[in-house]
Amino acid sequence: MRKILILAALVCLTFAQNVQECPTDGRLMKCVVQQQPVCGIRSLTNGKQIKETFDNYCIACSIGKVEYTVEGKCESYPAEAKFCSPAQSQALACTREYDPHCGYFNKTVQCLVPPCAIEQSNRCTTCSTENVLYTVRGNCRN
């Protein structure tokens, strides 16, 4: 019974996951040609992000320039979207500066009225909110 519960929990986590980190250990990945588009993200030192669409997670990560991927084509997200990295999503503490950001939730959150978003005082606070996928600077639009 315990094994079934653990397996069910892993399956739920797999379906809920929208962001996947790329391996950083330098291992080579053998990729198959499978169409499951992802948006590959690389962060620059100035805080900007380079976003590029790839056929799948494996191909995106195998080139060595992508830190993590997000489900779907980059073009399917707003141009001003800044994705929350896995590390930002797990932040335990944030500064208190006021720089409002609107955080948009991933597909696991069901909203009655779009947009499915939350407004927070800064980007760190927004990204560390559970299930926030990306942020846009400023107040949420209705």
User: Whole-model pTM above 0.75?
Assistant: yes
Q: What is the mean pLDDT of residues 53-72?
A: 91
Query: What percentage of the chain has pLDDT greater than the value 90?
Result: 64
2 pLDDT band, cuts 50/70/90, is very low
Smallest Cα–Cα separation from 83: which of 97, 65, 103, 99?
Answer: 103
- Burial of 78-98, coded b for 16+ CB within 10 Å and e otherwise, reads eeebbbbbeebbeeeebeeee
Q: What is the pLDDT of residues 74-85, one digit of tens each?
A: 999 999 999 999
Mean pLDDT of the chain: 84
Virtual CA dihedral for 92, 127, 125, 117, nearest 10 degrees? -140
Residue 27, pLDDT score = 66
Q: What is the pLDDT of residues 5-59, one digit of tens each?
A: 333 333 333 334 489 999 887 666 788 888 999 999 999 988 899 999 999 999 9
Residue 114, pLDDT score = 76
Q: Which residues pair with 103 in a beta bridge?
A: 118, 135
